[in-house]
Chain A
Amino acid sequence: MQRSRLARHDTSTDSRPAPAAGPRVHSLSVVSTGFLALFLAAILALVIADVGYTDLETVAGLFRSREVVSAMRLTAITSLLTLVLVVLFAVPAGYALSRYRFPGHALADTVVDLPIVLPPVVIGVSLLVFFATAPGRWLEGMGFRTHSVAAIVLCQFFVSASYAIRSAKAAFDGVDRRLENVALTLGCTRAYAFRTVTLPIARDGLIAGAVMAWARAVGVFGPLMVFVGSIRMKTEVMPTTIYLELTIGRIEVALAVALIMLAMAATALCLIHWLAASRRWWGP
């Protein structure tokens, strides 16, 4: 009873409006979320259009086509080789950019980003021109062939390595340098500190960069068409399969291959987000 009177009293004396229940809705949040929803709807519309144009039978039929299976196999082999090469380069290069201030550091930091901002076809043209020069001819003399797995890996590497290096640099930037220093005072070498302290802490960022680079490598098309060409059962990878199928009018097959690539890209992105959202990779 007493409580009820107090409540009535409070209500009568407080002229301030009662706070609205739940999160406050601002016009800015409505507008920004609206733009995001529009973009997502546009992407979804494209995917639905792709799915609607082909059918499950066509997708299943891809796995019975020798050409397409060969392209899938070559894509898997070359992209995984590229991934290994990219990781071998990106980890030390990202570490050097993050930790050391050498002459030309700013220039190196900028040049690393060049392949990201360049149209990929320019990389193909540049490779073509390079192999017409003396060092390129020397490499050919040493056994390098332009219509080969090595040439595909080279194209994929130049397109994707920058993403991994950039990501590795960011990952190493996020590792407190003082932890490495403390490790040194505890009796270990720089290499041991790098292996047991820096690498494990940077691991999520490094994996995210590697996955992103792999996804880029899988999708390389322009440089391959210019530098390597597209020979069925020899240098044909999935993006070139899409192009070749389109040129002979088999749009549903091209779209089926595109859907498989879409599923691969979505899996890669889900892996990155899963890593970013959790610290599952951290453990004793």
Chain B
Amino acid sequence: MIQVTDLCLGAGDFRLRDVNLQVAAGEYFVLLGPTGSGKSLLLKCLCGLVRAVSGTICVNGQDVTHLEPRRRRIGYVPQDCGLFPHMDVAHNIAFPLRARGRSLREALARVTPLAQALGIEPLLDRSPVGLSGGESQKVALARALASRPQLLLLDEPVSALDEPSRKEACSELRRVQEQFGIAHTRLSQRRGGPDGLGPGRSPLRRRVGPDRYDGATGPQTQERDGG
């Protein structure tokens, strides 16, 4: 599905080098690391918002390293959800369809089934301003799914939620992943613990490439769940 090979990237003085990872189709992949270790930067590079210095990113065998974000078909949900405050929830979700030339009527018609799948149908007429953290996350997820991505990148999707909500949200993410059959890559600062990965699973942990040139923080760890 996605294969990252010897990826080097940077922002300002910060550098990540020789990042290697592979996520299979339908896989749920969690990238762990402390604050400031470059997790978000890596996700931005994968979806095309940050240019790679060297290395390659392949999605389904196609080299997308130098493609524009819109041509990569990689969905991205930032940490703060990034909902457009001047549009209601329905128009937020319809945005990717409108961007690809669908009429407003056609786009809005496709919003309802998505909203139903995520249980946010009652929110469709509301403004994103004033939604709770969990609601915002679901709307952002619905919007990303509306663009029919091959891969979905979620930047700290549950960090703003309390413990019970976090578990519920993680279960929801797994359900959505299974329903839509999209590979997910998720970021988390939380090391170990269930964190919604589900009981009875033994995630594979391994030390991988990303580290800082300045060596200010500890190593990055990727946690993989072959779901």
Contacts and interface: CB of A to CB of B under 8 A. Distances in A.
A181 B95 CA distance: 13
Nearest to B91: A284
A179 interface: yes
A181 B84 contact: no
B91 A186 contact: no
Contacts of A181: 44, 49, 69, 78, 82
A181 B153 CA distance: 14
A183 B95 contact: yes
Nearest to B80: A178
Contacts of A184: 48-49, 68-70
Given A179-B84, A284-B88, A284-B91, A187 B47 contact: no
A92 interface: no
Interface residues of B, number: 30
A189 interface: yes
Contact of A282 (B68, B82, B85, B99): B85
B96 interface: yes
Given A186-B144, A189-B70, A284 B87 contact: yes
A184 B96 CA distance: 9
A71 interface: no
B82 A182 contact: yes
Nearest to B96: A186
Contact of A197 (B49, B70, B84, B96): B84
A185 B74 contact: yes
B100 interface: yes
Given A183-B99, A185-B48, A201 B85 contact: yes
Interface string A166-182: 00000000001011011
A63 interface: no
Contact of A188 (B44, B49, B86, B99): B99
Interface in B113-153: 143-144, 146-147
Contacts of B90: 284
Nearest to A193: B99
Contacts of A178: 78, 80, 82
B92 to A, nearest CB: 9
B86 A282 contact: yes
A283 to B, nearest CB: 7
B147 to A, nearest CB: 5
B75 interface: yes
B85 A186 contact: no
Contacts of A274: none
A186 B99 contact: yes
B29 interface: no
Contacts of A200: 86
Interface of A: 176, 178-179, 181-189, 192, 196-197, 200-201, 282-284
Question: Would you list the 8 A-B pairs with minimal beta carbon distance, nearest first?
Answer: A188-B99, A182-B82, A186-B96, A284-B88, A185-B76, A184-B69, A200-B86, A187-B70
5 contacts: A178-B82, A181-B82, A186-B143, A187-B100, A188-B96
Given A186-B95, A186-B143, A200-B86, 7 more contacts: A184-B69, A186-B146, A188-B96, A201-B84, A201-B86, A284-B86, A284-B87
